[in-house]
Amino acid sequence: MRTFTKLAICLALLTATVHRAHAHETFAPLISENCVAFIHVDLRNIEIDTVKAVLQETGESLLRELGFDEASFTATARELAIELEKLDMIVRPVWEATTKELGVREFATIVDIGLLERGIPFIVVLPWENKTDQHLDMLRALWGMENYPNADFARVGDFLILPMDNPPHFTERVAGWAQAIAPVPADSAIHEALQSVADANIKIVATIPQPLRAMAQSGIGMPPGMPNEVRGLIMFATQRVQWASAAVHFSDILGGEPRENSDVLLTIKTARPADARMLRGMMEQAIDLGVNMVRFQMEQMPREFDVEVTPAMAFATSPLAFSFARGFLRTLLPDVEEDKLLFRAKGDTLSPQVTVATVGIGVALLLPAVQAAREAARRTQCTNNIRQIVLALHNYHDTYGAFPPLYTVDADGKPLHSWRTLILPFMEQAAVYDMIRLDEPWDSPHNRQVHDMINGGTMPPYTCPSNPGRGCTYVVIAGEVFVPATTATRATERSAWGNTFAVITDGTSNTIAIVEVREPFNWMDPTADITLDELVEGFGRGGRVGSYHPGGMNVGFFDGSVRFVSETIDRGILRALGSRASGTIINPRQF
C-alpha cells in the first residue's frame, strides 16, 4: 500500500493543497491550554523537481503492479508525464512566489475552544513578521483571493490569520481570542506531543482540554442509546489520554533513508502503561460489539422488513463475512509500548498481489452487508416519514374536525393547493406554510420561489431517502377519503375541509392513507395523487406506484401503522386496502 500512499501525498504536496496545520516553536505564542488540534506544515524541504520525479516513478511502479502490458504501460506513462508538466506550469509559479518572494515556508492550522466559542471552527496562520500591505496584495493574487477584496484578514502580532468563510467581525473575534491567550509552558501535553514528531515536515497533534474532558464525563454530546461499552471507551479515553500525534516525513515519501519506527502512523499517549493496555482492550471489545450488533441487525432485517434474502445477502450475513470483518478490524488495533498506543502501517510486508487480493476479498465480503445496512436505514427513515405524515393528518382532523381536502380550488374550480401544503403547520413547517400564498395557484411565480428556496425544492419528510431523484414520493388515493374542495374558500374554512373518520367503514387499520411512488414530483402539485385504479394497476415493476426498496413499498394506514407491501400482493387485496368502504376485512398476513 506504500505506493498508493506516496502517490496521494505527493499529489497533495505538488498542488499545495495541504491546509491543515499545527505549529511548532514559531507558533508557540498561539498555543493555549484550550488548544484542541494543531497542525504544522514545513515547506522548506519540498523541491518541485524532486516531487515530479517521484510522482512519475511512483505512477509507473503502480502501473507495473497492476499488470499493465507494455503498450498500455508506455501510453499511460507518457500521458502521466504530460499531465505532470501541465500541473508544473500551474503550480511552480505560485509555489516559488509563495515560498521565495513572500518567504512563507511554513504555516499552521489551529482548533481552539476559545475560537469555537466565537463561532470560528479553525484558523490558518502564516508567519507575517515585517510584511507590508503590498505583501498581502501579492498573497491575495497568488491564492486567488483578489475577487474577495473585503475578506477580513486578521493581523495578530507577527502572524497573519486567514478567514476560511469570512464570518462577520472575523478580525474582532480573532483579536479577542488572541488577547485572552495564555501560552502554555514547554512541558505541557501539547508541546510534548509536538516534540514526539519534531523532525516531521507535517506535524499533527491533538489534546483534550479540560472543558472537553468535563463534557465527556457528564455525557454531553453523546447520543442516547449509545452502548455502554462505547460510552465507557469514550469516557475512559477522554480522562486518560494526554495527547495524540501523527506525522508525515518527506524523506519517507521522496525516497530518503528509512527512519526508526517509520511505520508508525499515529501515537496516543496515556497517563500510565496500565491505561494504555486498558484502552487497547476496550478498543478490541468495541470492535467485537460493533460487529456483533451489525450481525444481529442484518440477521433480523429479513423478518423485520420482509426483505427477500438474496444470495448476496445470505453471503454477507454468513459467519465467514463477520469473521473476516472482525479479523480485518483487529489488524487496525494499535501496539502497546509502555504508556503509548502505536498505530502502525502493517500491510507493507505483504506483496502487492496479496494486498490487492486481500482488499478485493474484503470488498466482496463487506460491500453487500454495507449496502443492505444502508437500505435498512433508508427504509426505516421512509417508515418514519410516512408515520409523520399520517400523524399530521390526524392532528389536522383533531383541529378542524375533518381531513384536509385533496386540494383547494379557485372560483373556477381549478386546483390551487395540495393537502401536503395544508398539513405543513402540523409537520413543524409552519414557517414555510406562512410564506405560501394560498389564494394564488401552487405554481405562481411567488409560490414557485418559495418551493425552490426550501432545500432546493425538496421537502425531506415528503421524500423517500431510497429514491435517487429529488422531489415528493408520497401520495394519497384520490376519490376515497381525500376529495377536492367543493368551493373556493380559504383552507381554514369549513367548506374547504374533506371527509372525516366516519367514512372509513372498513376500519382505519385496513385502509391505506399513504403510498409511495417511484417518480418524484413537486410536493406542492395538487394533481399528483393517484386513483384507486392507478394504485392497483400501477404497482409493480415499471409502474408509477412503488418504491426503490427491494421487493415492494412502504404503505401507511389510517391507524398510523406502516407496513411493507410486497410487489407480489394479490391485486384484489390491494384494491380492498385502498378502498375506504370495500366491505372486506383483510388479515395483515395476507400481504
421 grid coordinates: 401544503
Residue 373 has pLDDT above 70, yes or no: no
For 168-197, what is each residue's pLDDT tens digit? 778 888 888 888 888 888 788 888 888 888
* Same domain assignment for residues 391 and 528: yes
Which of 213, 236, 262 delimits the end of a domain?
Answer: 262
Residue 179: inside a domain: yes
Give 344's strand partners.
264
Domain assignment present for residue 269? The answer is no
CA distance 163 to 143: 13
pLDDT tier at 355, thresholds 50, 70, 90: very low
Identify whether 339 is part of a domain.
no
pLDDT of residue 366: 45
Q: How far apart are CA 561 and CA 435, in angstroms?
A: 32
**Whole-number percent of the chain with pLDDT over 90:** 21
Q: How is residue 100 written as a grid cell?
A: 521565495
Looking at the structure, tell me whether residues 90 and 211 fall in a common domain: yes
386 found inside a domain: yes
**What angle in degrees, to the nearest 10, is found between the helix axes of 228-240 and 273-305?**
150
pLDDT average, residue stretch 421-444: 91
The whole-angstrom separation of Cα 314 and Cα 305 is 15
- pLDDT for 540 equals 76
Residue 481: CB partners within 8 Å, gap ≥ 6? Answer: 403, 498, 499, 503, 504, 511, 513, 558, 580
Name the more confident of 586 and 84: 84
- Note the pLDDT of residue 464: 92
CA distance 259 to 539: 65
- 169 is a domain residue: yes
For residue 274, is it within any domain?
A: no
Beta-carbon neighbour count of residue 9 at 10 Å? 20
Nearest to 405 by CA among 526, 545, 577, 508: 526
Dihedral sign from CA coordinates of 317, 318, 319, 323: negative
Q: Does residue 394 share a domain with residue 257?
A: no
pLDDT digits (tens, 9 = 90+) for 189-205: 888 888 888 878 888 88
Residue 477 has pLDDT above 90, yes or no: yes
Judgement on whether residues 84 and 232 belong to the same structural domain of the protein? yes
pLDDT tens readout for residues 85-112: 888 888 888 888 888 888 888 888 888 8
Q: Which pLDDT band, with edges at 50, 70 and 90, does 149 fall under?
A: low
Task: List, in sequence order, the alpha helices (H) in 180-272.
Answer: 189-196, 210-218, 228-240, 250-253
Q: How confident is the model at residue 516, as a pLDDT?
A: 95
100 and 243 share one domain: yes
Read off the pLDDT of each residue in 402-417 and give the average, rounded to a whole number: 91
**What value does the CA radius of gyration of the chain take, rounded to a whole number of Å?**
31
Same structural domain, 71 and 192: yes
Q: Are residues 517 and 383 in the same domain?
A: yes
Residue 341 lies in a domain: no
The secondary element (H helix, E strand) that includes residue 515 is: strand 512-521
pTM of the predicted structure, to 2 decimals: 0.52
Domain boundary among 262, 296, 321: 262
Same-domain pairing of 249 and 398: no
State mean pLDDT over 243-249: 84
Name the residue among 521, 287, 292, 278 with its Cα closest to residue 418.
Answer: 521
Report the domain count for the chain. 2
**Last residue of some domain: 262, 289, 315?**
262
- 40 within a domain of the structure (yes/no): yes
Question: Does residue 456 come out as left (phi exceeding 0), alpha (psi in the -120 to 50 range) or beta?
Answer: left
CA atoms within 13 A on the CB side of 556: 26
Which pLDDT band holds residue 326 (cuts at 50, 70, 90)?
A: confident
For the stretch 40-53, pLDDT in tens is 888 877 778 887 88
Residue 253 sits in the same domain as residue 380:
no
Distance CA 183, CA 175 (A): 15
The range of the structural domain enclosing residue 161 comes to 2-262
**Which phi and psi angles does 474 have, rounded to 5°?**
-120, 130
Highest mean pLDDT: which range of 15-24, 346-355, 491-500: 491-500
Look at residue 259 in the predicted model and tell me its pLDDT: 65
91, 228: one domain: yes
Query: Is the same domain home to 386 and 518?
Result: yes
Q: Regarding predicted confidence, which is higher, 416 or 59?
A: 416
